[in-house]
Chain A
Amino acid sequence: MQTVKMVISGAVNAGKTEFIKTISEIEVVSTERRATDDTRLIKKETTVAMDFGRIAISDDLVLHLFGTPGQKRFDFMWEILAEGMLGLVILVDSTRPETFRETNRIIDFFVSYRDTPYVIAANKQDRPNAWSPEELRLALRQPPHIKVLPCTATDRESVKNVLLELLYVIQERSED
């Protein structure tokens, strides 16, 4: 049995757990705990170690989806989760510009030492005041070749689209 892994990261409350729940075939194994520190002000429950979801590709191949914890004090988990990943989705809460800097730090952490294929998902596009993907590209200073995709993590088609776009980037780099 071969497993391949993708990581879903982003700042606190970006929608990582939601994203994985929407697409996973198993009930997501999530380590939600009562939020501490500033996160408490935004939400009651936050992911502390990781989220884990799974999609069976065939009898001998499975795709694992790992969501990273949002709170800063758990960022030691990032290194562990990043090991051997096939690709990365960076989720952004498009309605909260105050998280854009943190998002940049996360992107920098994951891609500066590794040459990881990644896409950015401008999440919560269904909400009023969401910044559009093109505006997010400018705000996050992403070069034109990086895909910044519209996303609504509660919508399965939207989540599928983000994963597929990431897979197309991976496909381009794969061997014949």
Chain B
Amino acid sequence: MALVGNIRDFSLSDFLSLVDRGYKTGALHLSHNDQMARLYFEKGKLLLAARRPEDEKPELLVRLGVLNADQVAQACRLLAERGNGLTLSQILIDTGLVSADRLQQALMSHTEQSVYGLFAWPEGDFLFEHNQRPAPDAPLAPTPISIDHLIMEGVRRIDEWERIRDRIPSTDLVPRFLAPPGEKLKGMRLAPDEWKVFARINGRDTLAEIAQKTGLSDFDVCRAVYGFLTAGMLELVKRQRVLAAGMPPVEQPRLKKSLVNRIINRIRSM
């Protein structure tokens, strides 16, 4: 079943994060007024982002200055001959028409630029089609692109508190890493101010205290933390809970097992 919605309500960053955490494979179709975009993912990573249908065609590589028209034609012939399961990128690399690095660099930069433009859309319908794959002759990045830093880039463009408050209702909350943030961090390409915030997160200081210690505004701190949250790196906890580590916050009425079993049996019999 396709996933549908509007990025006004479920933002593109949120969606990318869902694709990332869910290791999703498929195509995300976006439309806003008369503009369109199509993003292909494989196991949570980005293969291709097209802002117009031509971006999914081999000729994109000519426009990007990676190949000339003859080389593209040659590669397409080979692809047609060898066919089954091969992609255009594999053919290009195998035949030495272009190095894997060069191809990766050109397509990665094109793909990223295409996605950045989408963050400016105030709204737009989306539809995610599970397991829809690009055509074999589509110009795909040889190594699928990690989307952590695309998520962060989307978050950088947030300029209103309203969006951030959804997930960060107060600056009295304490950010805490869920796991050592090694691998993710590499892909994120943080800006200097984001590094400052990152370095101050210790599981004890509140957001307000981090703002004070870094000299950054509450908004800048919260926006960076919002990015880390969206990338699934940390959680926010209330200070009381940090102090009473290991203790449940408010005592929950404990019931006798026999009583719970009586309720279970009754509901089962309904």
Across-interface contacts of A113 in B (CB, < 8 A): 238, 249-250
**Contact mask A93-121 → B, CB, 8 Å, 1/0?**
00001101100110010001111110000
Known: A97-B6, A139-B10, A163-B267. A174 touches B252 (CB 8 A): no
- Does chain B have a CB within 8 A of A89? no
Known: A57-B263, A139-B10, A167-B263. A174 touches B3 (CB 8 A): no
- Does chain B have a CB within 8 A of A175? yes
Among B18, B248, B255, B263, max chain A CB count under 10 A is at: B263
CB of B255 within 8 A of CB of A174, answer yes
- Does chain A have a CB within 8 A of B270? yes
- Does chain B have a CB within 8 A of A29? no
Within 8 A of A (CB), among B242-268: 248-257, 259-264, 266-268
CB of B5 within 8 A of CB of A98, answer yes
Interface residue tally for chain A (C-beta within 8 Å): 45
Across-interface contacts of A115 in B (CB, < 8 A): 248-252
Q: Report A2 CB to chain B, min CB distance, Å.
A: 8
Interface residue stretch chosen among A13-21, A125-133, A146-154: A125-133
CB of B1 within 8 A of CB of A130, answer yes
CB of A114 within 8 A of CB of B9, answer no
CB of B166 within 8 A of CB of A101, answer yes
- Does chain B have a CB within 8 A of A170? yes
Known: A4-B263, A55-B267, A160-B267. A84 touches B10 (CB 8 A): no
CB of B22 within 8 A of CB of A171, answer no
CB of A58 within 8 A of CB of B266, answer yes
CB of A135 within 8 A of CB of B3, answer yes
Q: A130 CA to B262 CA in the complex, in Å?
A: 34
CB of B249 within 8 A of CB of A104, answer no
- Does chain B have a CB within 8 A of A164? yes
Across-interface contacts of B77 in A (CB, < 8 A): none
Q: Report A166 CB to chain B, min CB distance, Å.
A: 10
Within 8 A of B (CB), among A137-164: 138-139, 141, 156, 160, 163-164
Across-interface contacts of A58 in B (CB, < 8 A): 262, 266
**Considering only CB atoms, which chain B residue lies closest to A164 in the complex?**
B267
Known: A86-B255, A115-B248, A129-B4. A164 touches B10 (CB 8 A): no
Q: Report A1 CB to chain B, min CB distance, Å.
A: 13
- Does chain A have a CB within 8 A of B2? yes
Q: A139 CA to B254 CA in the complex, in Å?
A: 31
Of B166, B169, B254, the residue contacting A174 (CB under 8 A) is: B254
- Does chain B have a CB within 8 A of A173? yes
Across-interface contacts of B9 in A (CB, < 8 A): 97-98, 100-101
Of B2, B5, B255, B266, the residue contacting A170 (CB under 8 A) is: B255
**Contact mask B8-21 → A, CB, 8 Å, 1/0?**
11100010001001
CB of A175 within 8 A of CB of B254, answer yes
CB of A132 within 8 A of CB of B260, answer no
The 9 closest A-B pairs by CB, nearest first: A98-B9, A97-B5, A115-B248, A97-B10, A174-B257, A138-B18, A171-B260, A114-B250, A101-B166
Q: A108-B169, A173-B254 are in contact. List 14 more A-B contacts (CB 8 A).
A: A57-B262, A58-B266, A86-B255, A98-B8, A112-B249, A113-B238, A113-B249, A115-B248, A116-B252, A128-B1, A134-B22, A171-B257, A171-B261, A171-B264
Chain A to chain B contacts (Cβ below 8 Å), 28 pairs: A4-B263, A23-B270, A55-B266, A57-B262, A57-B263, A97-B5, A97-B10, A98-B5, A98-B9, A101-B167, A104-B166, A108-B169, A112-B249, A114-B250, A115-B250, A129-B1, A130-B1, A131-B3, A135-B3, A160-B270, A164-B264, A164-B268, A168-B264, A170-B260, A171-B261, A174-B260, A175-B254, A175-B256
